[in-house]
Amino acid sequence: KFDYLARDCYYCGVQASCDFSRIMPFVRVIDDTICFKASEVGNIYEIFHTRASLHRRVYTHKVAKAIEYMIVDAMVEANDAFEIVKKAQSPKSFLELDDSILKRIEYANPEDDDSRLRKAKSVVERIRRRKLYKYVNEYCVPTEQLKNWKKVKAEDITACQKGDGGVDLRPDDIVVQNMKIDWSMKDKNPVDHVFFYQDARSDTKFSIPKEKVSTLLPNVFQERRVRVFVKDEANFDAVSRAFEAYQERHFGSSRQVAATPPRSKAKRHALSGPFALKKGSSSGLRTDPEARKKLRLTSREITLGGGNANGKAKGKKPLTPVPEK
């Protein structure tokens, strides 16, 4: 499986911490078992680390998962019209369920009473317009609870909702992702099951304890995370508060690494000063000539080696602001 790790790292722009080119030249078969040279044990650990990193950063990326959940919802709603579940039962008809299924849903002509197909079309249209399910936040399950952890359901989050000004959350309003990432053997160290040989003259295989390799290696080889997505951005703040309330109820405090910024426009703090954004514009610099002058003046001071508040460069003649065209 080394090839897909190297390929995905390359095409996704993820820096791999292992050297794949050194693995195969040092492989030998001893007693019908694939063995690696003992000096490459660190590289073997890095391969499993790279695999876990790809799952965390690429395969379970929050945007990719949001689109995945939207495709699932669209296919569920369109099942009656396209018999998706029935076609999945036969290998021959399963071939029809390629990427074109989204196009067929998108260009379908539902009957007036076919509300489910219209809903499926609206979900596909949201994907096309990049109006995706919004990622709210996530937390990492404590190590001591990993063994007996139970999956979190949408009902568990909505049950923790407090008064939210008329917003009544339902389980269908949110998506809960119970994510598990490990080193390919659940909570076990996979390298404990890898065999090594000493050198080219050796015909004896052996395992290498983790303690002999490095004291910096992890003691836990599995993590679980709970993510929450909201389908309608209007419910974002209500879901965020309910998710934090759920964590406080089960852990005593919030376990989120970063606080969830509010999506309500009334709660956002506007920038102040000459570089503040103007209403109806994407950039304050486009509509504020004075701010543009100050920015040009500052850029010239930096280029010439610094200056003071009066626009005078140190040891040089006063600068003349660039006039507006």
pLDDT at residue 70 in the model: 98
For 26, counting Cβ atoms within 10 Å of its Cβ (0-12 exposed, 13-18 middle, 19+ buried), the class is middle
Q: Are 5 and 50 in contact (CB under 8 A)?
A: yes
Shortest CA distance to 195 belongs to which of 209, 182, 181, 184?
209
Tokens of 301: 């001071």
Q: Are 157 and 177 in contact (CB under 8 A)?
A: no
Look-up: residue for tokens 């680390």?
A: 49
Q: Are 23 and 16 in contact (CB under 8 A)?
A: no
pLDDT at residue 311 in the model: 47
pLDDT at residue 296 in the model: 61
pLDDT at residue 210 in the model: 96
pLDDT tens series, the chain, 325 aa: 788 999 999 999 988 888 888 888 999 999 999 999 999 999 999 999 999 999 999 999 999 999 999 999 999 999 999 999 999 999 999 998 998 999 999 999 888 778 999 999 999 999 999 999 999 999 999 999 999 999 999 999 999 998 766 789 999 999 999 999 999 999 999 999 999 999 989 999 999 999 999 999 999 999 999 999 999 999 999 999 999 999 999 999 999 999 888 876 555 554 445 545 555 454 444 556 666 666 565 555 555 555 554 545 455 555 555 555 5
Q: How far apart are CA 299 and CA 306, in angstroms?
A: 9
Backbone angles phi, psi at 223, to 5 degrees: -140, 150
pLDDT at residue 20 in the model: 86
* 161 residue type, one letter: Q
